[in-house]
Every structure is written in structure tokens, then in C-alpha cells.
Amino acid sequence: MSVDEIPAGQQRAALNWDEYSRVAFIAQQAVSKMQTATLVKIVACTNSGGLSPVGFVDVIPLVNQIDGQGNPERHVTVYNLPYLRIQGGSNAIIIDPEVGDIGVAVFASRDISKVKKTKDQANPGSYRQYSFSDGMYLGGMLNGTPTQYVQFSSAGVKVLSPVAVILEAPDIQLTGTDVSVTATNFSVASTTFTHNSTNIGANHQHSGVQTGTSNTGPPV
């Protein structure tokens, strides 16, 4: 075996100088196996923006491992992490992660596999602790400028979509002191259309006409 083929660990000669150094190294090795939180990149997601239960993502941790000689080692894919959705009961904001997203993943102190399967209280699935296998994806960080968004600022609330904005409900109400609509085409499909404005339709006066029993002509 050549020198280049000898595995490089994390122990160095100085760690064997005294009993404290040896014990400290053993403790450090144990702690290094505990996963807490790190940045990851999404490589797969079970959902793609549709109406569905919360899904799972596959991720790659972005901070490389380093051995005692300073050699980097990339992480492999970590599979089946449940991801966070803002949801209360049957009310939710659906924004599924997409491939290429960067975000933070945290790792549970015990095996969560049985809870993931049953979605109920359960014993740990094994004796593992702080493992990559028990990760949870909490959401995006370090990502680029969005092209579709809801923006909150001192100027108000802005909803922008390059495709469409769809509102569906049995009752939709718009209330405001000044409501304006700017559109190239404007259409209303309704069996009943009512208004209470004094500035719409025939509720205004025209000069140069005489009263009588006849109807006016069609709009021009």
C-alpha cells in the first residue's frame, strides 16, 4: 500500500501526548457524529405545487467533511426528509420546495421513522441519535430573487404572478375607498350583476334631451 492509499483519520500525534488529550479526542469524535443543523440543497421533492399532503425531499448537505489531513469529502444524498409547510388544520400556504433550492435542515435527537410512518405518537424506530437519517427540512435560505411572490412592505401588500392570479370562493368581497381596475380586456360572467354606485350606468344626467315615453337608442 502506497502512502497515498493510507486512510487519513482525524487523530494527530499531539493528541497522544497525555491522558487528557486522548480522552478529549474520544469525546470530540463522539460529538462529531451528532448532526444538529446544516445547509442543504434539494435534489428531489415528492410534490410540485399541487393540492396534496405535505411531502418529502432528498437533500445533499453542502458543508463538506474534512479529515485530519484537511482533505475534503463530499456528502452523499440524504433521503426522505419531511419538509415544513405553514399549515393549521386544513388551512395552508402551499409552497413546495424545488430542485436546486438551498435551505436549512435540522436533525432529531432520536429516530423519527415510526412517527413519519404513522403520523402519531410512537417509540423511536431504533437507538440511533442525532443522525442524518432523522432530518427535517425547514425552508429556504441563500436563494435568488423570486419572480412570483406576495410582498409586504411599507407601501402595502403586493401580489405578483407572471402567469395568473386566481381567486375561488363562494363569496369574494372587495372593500376600499378607491378601487381601480386596469386591463386590456375586462369581462364579467355572471347571471346577476348589481351595483350601488352613482357613477355607473344611467344614474347620471345628460343635457339637451326632452322627457317623454320613448326609450333611448343603443350605446355608441
CATH code, domain with 27: 2.40.50.230
d(CA 133, CA 113): 9
Asked if the structure places residue 76 within a domain, the reply is yes
The pLDDT, as a whole number, for residue 7 is: 47
Is 28 domain-assigned?
A: yes
Q: Which domain holds residue 139?
A: 3-145
Whether residue 79 is contained in a domain is answered as yes
Beta bridge partners of 91: 88
- Is 153 within the bounds of a domain? no
* pLDDT in the model for residue 209: 64
In a domain, 150, yes or no: no
Residue reference for cell 344626467: 205
Whether 88 is covered by a domain: the verdict is: yes
Under a CB-based contact definition with an 8 Å cutoff, are residues 105 and 136 in contact? yes
194 in a domain, yes or no? no
Determine the residue type at 27.
Answer: A
Give the CA distances from residue 11 to residues 14, 70, 141, 146, 167, in Å, rounded to whole numbers and listed in that order.
8, 12, 34, 45, 61
Q: Is residue 216 part of a domain?
A: no
CA angle, residues 129, 134, 138, in degrees to nearest 5: 125
Q: Which amino acid makes up residue 196? A: N
Q: What pLDDT is stored for residue 203 in this prediction?
A: 53
Report the C-alpha gap between 82 and 107 in whole angstroms: 11
| Torsion of the alpha carbons at 73, 77, 78 and 79, rounded to the nearest 10 | -170
Rounded Cα distance, 72 and 8, in Å: 11
Reading the chain (220 residues) residue by residue, the pLDDT tens digits are: 444 444 445 666 555 667 777 777 777 777 777 889 999 999 999 999 999 999 999 999 999 988 878 889 999 999 999 999 999 999 999 999 999 999 999 999 999 999 999 999 999 999 999 999 999 999 999 999 999 999 999 999 999 999 999 999 999 998 999 989 999 998 888 778 777 766 655 655 656 666 667 666 665 5
Domain count, the chain: 1
pTM (predicted TM-score): 0.74
Number of Cβ within 10 Å of residue 81's Cβ equals 23
